[in-house]
Amino acid sequence: MNKWYVADLLLLFVAFIWGATFVMIRDAVTVLQPFTFNGLRFLLAGLFLLLWMIAFRRDQLKKMNRSMLFSGIVIGTCLFAGYALQTFGLEFTTPSKAGFLTGLNVVLVPLLAFLILKRKPGIAALIGVGCSVAGLYLLTEGGGSSFNIGDLLEFLCAFAFGMHIVFTGKYAKQFPAIALTLIQISTVAVLSGLAAIFSENWSAAFSPSVIKGSGVWFALLFTSLLATVAAYLSQTALQKITAPTHVALIFTMEPVFAALASYFWIHETLGTTAYIGCLFIFIGMILAELPYQTIIRKTLTRKKAS
């Protein structure tokens, strides 16, 4: 099988993993509070990645410097905000709605890139934004359930993840990918841990009832090893052999997988109008992302040629 197809299939599996975690996290935060859950998730992921780098990639550890630490902390802070808002939002809204609302980050990236990196969005991106806004209304208002605090948190989460994508694009070219990933994961772990210590009953994570209950720790292991370490490492490695446009299109399947997981796992269904809203958002994602990724690919091609 052609390596391009293998890469796309593996990236599709990454999108499936991310989509499936919406239901899993929604159930886990009924037992563990959000900052505690995220702190443990990213602590486990950071430790695993650190051990892996010590064993196989010590060369990248030696390249760490102040500039890389600063860049990783900026990216990690955006990632912390995104996951914190997403996890809190799942306490008040459904996994399907959360998946599509979070997926709006794809639409927001061209706009944020214009504000931060001065990259002007194309007409297709603007149409995509309008399409997604219409879909957002149909999903949250026209689907029979009013816009609630959970929906607002998931929408703000999309902004945070959009910032994460933009800043990752800005700094990733300057530093080794695995070392930069370790710094941002560690940043999320530290910030989540501090927030848990000052605002939550974090010791509940080690209570006999939680330890004996396999569901929470299964969710922690799944999200830390598969949805964090394996997913980010796969994305970093596979983008070397597949086009950025393909990656963007594949990752728009994440909210679709979230909706499917919600349907099969907890039998969640949405109204017809809400599903039409999801379709509008999905189309908006594709319209907004394709021009942006095409610009990036052309820019990288020109730099390699010069």
Name residues whose C-beta falls within 8 Å of residue 233's C-beta, 6 or more positions apart in sequence: 49, 178, 181
pTM, two decimal places? 0.73
Going residue by residue through the chain, which has 306 residues, state the pLDDT in tens, using 9 for 90 and above.
Answer: 556 667 777 777 888 888 888 778 877 877 788 888 889 999 999 999 999 888 888 888 888 889 999 999 998 999 999 988 988 888 887 777 777 777 777 667 777 777 776 666 667 666 766 776 677 667 655 545 566 788 889 889 888 988 887 887 778 778 887 888 899 999 999 999 999 998 888 877 777 766 666 678 888 888 898 888 888 777 666 655 654 444 555 666 777 777 777 777 666 666 777 777 777 777 776 775 555 445 444 444 444 444
Q: Find the distance separating the first CA and the last CA of the chain, reported in whole Å.
A: 33
Q: How far apart are CA 279 and CA 110, in angstroms?
A: 20
Q: How far apart are CA 302 and CA 306, in angstroms?
A: 6
Domain range annotation of the chain: 3-305
